[in-house]
Structure 1
Amino acid sequence: MTVRDVERDAMRRALALALNGPAGVNPQVGAVILAPDGRILAEGWHRGAGTPHAEVDALSHLSPGEAEGATAVVTLEPCNHTGRTGPCSQALLAAGISRVLYAVDDPGVVSAGGADTLRAAGVEVEADVLGDEGRALLSAWLTVQRLGRPHVTVKWAQSLDGRAAASDGTSQWITGPAAREDVHRRRAMADAIIVGTGTVLADDPSLTARDADGALLAHQPRPVVIGERQTPSGAAVRRHPREPLFLSSRDLTRVLDDLRREGVQRVFVEGGPTLASAFVRAGLVDEVLAYIAPALLGGPRLALDDIGVETIGDAVRLTLSSVERLGEDILLVARPATAPSPANVKDS
């Protein structure tokens, strides 16, 4: 089968429509219904868990029989199961759709298989249409489906000799303005930012994402504070534009699962050393950002403490992704040499 230019244009339109929906537990999905002559008959997008999926939303704008012989262009493979809503594959068949094009395969254990159902019913199906663009759109959501939890980035700043603070506990600032600006830019890419109560009590961070002039960036990650000690009523984090979440649980897997259920797809762990080490020790780190300043501090306050390594053979090996100079500082970006095992996630 050949994909026509008008169908590729429709996929680009569907990708744009998908962005109208919320990013969260469910994927952002857009759909366009084309007449046989290439005219757009209807458009739709998914508005969140429990609402009609994009294909059904688009079909709802048409009269009975109007979609007969039409083509459905959708950014994600039509689902094949009944959850809060019915299977999109059956809705397309009932509407008389004769051709379906989609960008990304559905990775769901339960929801996948819509393409096979459509083909078995005699519908022409074309997969991976503008697939790279579709996967880029759904990158964070697809990662959650693969891992069974949000993607976790752990960040720390350190001196050249691996210290996160001076012996008296002071740490502002180890790195320079360029490095700190980069941190804020990356914070704004996350859905949640996690710190321990030790960091809150020692540094009183606001946990906001700001530009070089100190103004708040458009997207703010939700602050999450983990620890049993109480966060003071006057702490800066309590003035964050998003409501902070305070958790006493030491079970990081459970914390991440709770955040996943809240629609969090990307987590930014900012410290301190105890919390960062706990994530590393638990094998829950997908990316490390190490900001290294050309300074020597000495003393006991290491950037990481116990990560469960007793001998060199147990070292947590990483693959270096990039090295970037930020003013006088260096940013090392690394990922685990061994990728986490795929996890099965229940479809929402």
Structure 2
Amino acid sequence: MQSVRVTDEMWQHLLSLREGLIGPRVLSPDADVSCLPLYAPIARRSGQFVLAQVGQSLDGRIATPMGDAQDVSGSDGIAHLHRCRALVDAVVVGVGTVVADDPSLSVRAAPGRSPVRVVVDCNGRMPHRAKMLNDGGMPVIVIQADDVARRNGGHELISLPRQADGSLSPRDILAALTERDLTSVLVEGGANTISRFIDAQLVDRLHVSVSPIIIGSGPAGIRLTPIDRLSQARRPEVQVYNIGTDIVFDCNLRVEAQRAAALPDCEDILMADTA
């Protein structure tokens, strides 16, 4: 396990990588570079990149059965999430997360620019009074099915065709964002949204941030398609980082995704709005 320390110098260097500067900020000879393996893959601009982030307890829970998810992550886990937001173009959540938590999805626990906020809202449930629609922050994009009535709400609306089961395709969602030059994406929640992007083999890196608490019951952070045998379980390359109050498992899913994309029978995983 590697301990990670993010100094002001290193963070400014990472932000310069995020901006795609020809000459990134030069580091001093004695710079503490322990954070580079964790954050540099997100900051570098090299085409489409999808990061999924889960903050959970030791027993894999993201909230209590009543839905209380506040303070699941420690202070350093929250700072890590906000750093991830600051290094991407857009952050994606399902409308269920907006209804349950009313997040702002901005960068507050780290210096940097907030990302564009994207809400997958298949059936048009986006609350008019949602915080992100009224905080004067970064633009909000709502993605819904093309057979749902369009509503004015001070945000951009993207309409996509429903698939056979009435849901939206994660691949179509990423394509629509890429058309708007939003190529680096953080898929933040909820569990169904993250799981569908993983099942679709579209996630390059998965960060599982574990906080030393035991909730005992409640929803899990990831719910993938069921498997019958452990031999079918995914075993990505993993690096483990001690970031202070939390431990981050950095799972490299890119190789697995590339192999799956090469299979002729690979099916597109469908996207609902129940996150």
Given the two structures, how large is their TM-score scaled by the length of structure 1?
Answer: 0.53
Residue 329 of structure 1 pairs with residue 246 of structure 2:
yes
Greater RCO (Cα-Cα under 8 Å, separation 6 or more): 2
**Per-residue Cα deviation, 1:73-101 (whole angstroms, up to 9, x for no partner):** xxxxxxxxxxxxxxxxxxxxxxxxxxxxx
Contact 2:201 2:257 in 1 (8 A): no
Once the two structures are superposed, the pairs formed by residues 146-185 of structure 1 within 5 Å of their partners are: 150-185=48-83
Residue 247 of structure 1 pairs with residue 247 of structure 2:
no
Runs of 4 or more, structure 1, over 6 Å off, are none
Tell me what 1:207 maps to: 105
Larger Rg: 1
Tell me what 1:274 maps to: 192
Once the two structures are superposed, the pairs formed by residues 75-114 of structure 1 within 5 Å of their partners are: none
Alpha-carbon distance in structure 2 between the residues aligned to 1:273 and 1:190: 20
User: What secondary structure, in the 3-state scheme, does the structure 2 residue paired with 1:338 have?
Assistant: helix
The alpha carbon displacement at 1:29 in A equals 7.9
User: What secondary structure, in the 3-state scheme, does the structure 2 residue paired with 1:289 have?
Assistant: strand
Alpha-carbon distance in structure 1 between the residues aligned to 2:104 and 2:256: 34
The alpha carbon displacement at 1:339 in A equals 4.8
Structure 2 counterpart of 1:233, from 128, 146, 170: 128
Given the two structures, how large is their TM-score scaled by the length of structure 2?
Answer: 0.66
Say if 1:293 and 1:280 are closer, same or farther in 2 by CA, change over 3 A.
same
Structure 1 counterpart of 2:91, from 187, 190, 193: 193
Alpha-carbon distance in structure 2 between the residues aligned to 1:163 and 1:229: 28
Contact 2:201 2:256 in 1 (8 A): no
Contact 2:75 2:245 in 1 (8 A): no
Question: Which one-letter code corresponds to 1:277 in the other structure?
Answer: S
The alpha carbon displacement at 1:265 in A equals 1.8
Contact 1:192 1:264 in 2 (8 A): yes
Residue 340 of structure 1 pairs with residue 232 of structure 2:
no
**Per-residue Cα deviation, 1:117-142 (whole angstroms, up to 9, x for no partner):** xxxxxxxxxxxxxxxxxxx9x942x3
Alpha-carbon distance in structure 2 between the residues aligned to 1:199 and 1:319: 29
The alpha carbon displacement at 1:335 in A equals 0.7
Q: State percent identity of aligned pairs.
A: 29
Contact 1:163 1:299 in 2 (8 A): yes
The alpha carbon displacement at 1:313 in A equals 2.4
Say if 1:240 and 1:332 are closer, same or farther in 2 by CA, change over 3 A.
farther
Segments of 5+ residues of structure 2 without an aligned counterpart are 1-15, 24-40, 146-167, 263-275
Question: Which one-letter code corresponds to 1:223 in the other structure?
Answer: R
Segments of 5+ residues of structure 1 without an aligned counterpart are 1-18, 31-135, 145-149, 344-348
Alpha-carbon distance in structure 2 between the residues aligned to 1:218 and 1:159: 27
| Count of equivalent residues | 201
The alpha carbon displacement at 1:155 in A equals 0.3
**Per-residue Cα deviation, 1:33-68 (whole angstroms, up to 9, x for no partner):** xxxxxxxxxxxxxxxxxxxxxxxxxxxxxxxxxxxx
